[in-house]
Amino acid sequence: MTRRRGPSTPAAARPAAAQERPDAATARPRAGAAGEAWRWLHRNLFSTWYNALLTVVGLAAVCGAASRVGRWALTAADWRVVTNNLTLLLVGPYPRDQLWRVGLAVLVTAALAGLTAAAAGGGRSGVLMRRAPALAWLLAPLAVLWLVHGDGAVLDVVRTDRWGGLLLTLMLAAVGIVVSFPFGVALALGRQSTLPVVRAVSTACIEVVRGVPLVTVLFSTQIMLTLFLPEGLRPDRVLRAMAGLVVFSAAYVAENVRGGLQSVPQGQIEAAAALGLNGAQTTFLIVLPQALRAVVPSLVGQFISLFKDTSLVTIVGLQELLGIANSVLANPDYLGRYAEMYAFAGLVYWLFCYGMSRAGRRVEQRLGLGRR
């Protein structure tokens, strides 16, 4: 079950891609850049008459579509539906006098990303440079939560029903990803356990959740958590939605990780055992590092899916990016401005998904080191 729905390439680009034949063997060095370009065109786009035809038709289609979209975006479209509501779309009903906190949270996140990139790129690996990112990764999420939510003492509490728009989307996705990962790994290990009870419980959890749509999980956590938990401990709606996303995502993480666990050869486990490592040491030092490395691509794909799936929380009444977009569209002032609004929302989703995709590639490349 692969759930990789990466950022899709525009359909119009397909015909041109279909006839690409990168054929390095026929490449001949030639004096002059123009000659080189001509040869490249000939080889890749006009090698036969039907390839030439496809190229011309494909190019015409792409240009036609692009010019229509461009003309619409620049002339017919009325972007005020987005620009007038930009703050609303980004943070929803978050108190306007507290917006600086969100800004600061964004800065913290950007600093974390910068630090990670610097640590990953830099050849020098002093103790500080190796330890700093790990520490930052532990502290930054807490700092962001504290900034956005507040504690009632230093920062006023902003209750989660004031969270909305892109802010809510990102908080849901981040919590969903970060929390579901350890649970998913635990479930995957549980499913491989030699203890029948642990194995049965893990398998049941995974299969039940995987057998129902996310909407069902979201509804169940909205309704059932309030039924089962004691009166005083009634989590708010956002927390319940987060729980639903975590439960759903953990089951899929577990199945991905299980695939990785199975890809670790038996010989690795035997070698660890022969050295006297115990079961826990074998799992955490030998098996899991190799298993997780193997599943980074599918995990990234899955987390991208989860990010997009956060849009489903509108169904349980939360106003994340798409929810806010829909309520703006319901305003008579912006009647019929669907195209502009959804183009904007789509662009925002795409930016984040593409970013995650790129980050995933970087992680893969970094981890690929040991496999060479």
Partner 1 sequence: MTGERQAARDPAGGPAGCGVNDPIIVCEDVHKWFGSFHVLRGVTLTVRRGEKVVIVGPSGSGKSTFIRTLNALEPYQRGRIVVDGIELTSDLHNIERVRSEVGMVFQQFNLFPHLTVLDNITLAPIWVRKRPRREAEELAMQLLERVGIPEQAHKYPGQLSGGQQQRVAIARALAMEPRIMLFDEPTSALDPEMIKEVLEVMVELAQTGMTMLVVTHEIGFARQVADRVLLFDEGVIVEEGPPDQFFNHPQHERTRRFLAQIL
Is 123 a residue that touches partner 1 (CB under 8 A)? no
Which C-beta is closer to partner 1: that of 48 or that of 266?
266
Contact between 278 and partner 1 per CB under 8 A: yes
For residues 6 and 143, give the distance between their C-alpha atoms in angstroms, rounded to a whole number.
Answer: 30
Q: Is 230 helix (H, G, I), strand (E, B) or coil?
A: coil
Q: Which long-range contacts (CB under 8 A, 24 or more apart) does 327-331 make?
A: 328/81, 328/85, 328/88, 328/89, 329/81
- 286 near partner 1, rule: CB under 8 A: yes
Residues 6+ apart with CB under 8 A from 97: none
In the complex, minimum distance from the CB of residue 286 to partner 1, in angstroms, rounded to a whole number: 6
Judged by beta carbon, residue 28 or residue 372, the one nearer partner 1 is 372
Pick the stretch among 93-101, 210-218, 267-275, 296-304 that binds partner 1 (CB under 8 A). Answer: 267-275
- By the 10 Å C-beta count (0-12 exposed, 13-18 middle, 19+ buried), 198 is classed as middle
Closest distance between partner 1 and the C-beta of residue 269, in Å? Answer: 9
**Does residue number 369 form part of the binding site for partner 1 (CB under 8 A)?**
yes
- In the list 86, 139, 275, 347, the residue contacting partner 1 (rule: CB under 8 A) is 275
- Alpha-carbon distance 191 to 206, whole Å? 9
Per CB under 8 A, does 126 bind partner 1?
Answer: no
Stretch of 25-33, 148-156, 199-207, 273-281 lying at the interface with partner 1 (CB under 8 A)? 273-281
Alpha-carbon span 286 to 162, nearest angstrom: 45
Q: Which residues, 6+ apart, have CB-to-CB distance to 99 below 8 Å? A: 87, 91
Query: C-beta of 273: minimal distance to partner 1 in Å?
Result: 6
Choice from 289, 308, 315, 329 touching partner 1 (CB under 8 A) = 289
Give the three-state DSSP class for 157: coil
Separation of alpha carbons 260 and 296, rounded Å: 9
204 φ/ψ sector (left φ>0, alpha ψ -120 to 50, else beta): alpha
Could you tell me the two tokens for 86?
């930009």
Tell whether residue 364 is a contact of partner 1 (CB under 8 A): no
271 binds partner 1 (CB under 8 A): yes
* Nearer Cβ to partner 1 (200/275): 275
Extract the tokens encoding 62. Answer: 């792409």
Whether the Cβ atoms of residue 322 and residue 310 lie closer than 8 Å to each other: no
**Near partner 1 by CB under 8 A: residue from 160, 293, 312, 320:** 293
Q: Give least dist CB 290 to partner 1, A.
A: 5
Binding interface with partner 1 (CB under 8 A): 265, 267-268, 270-278, 281, 285-286, 289-290, 293, 369-372
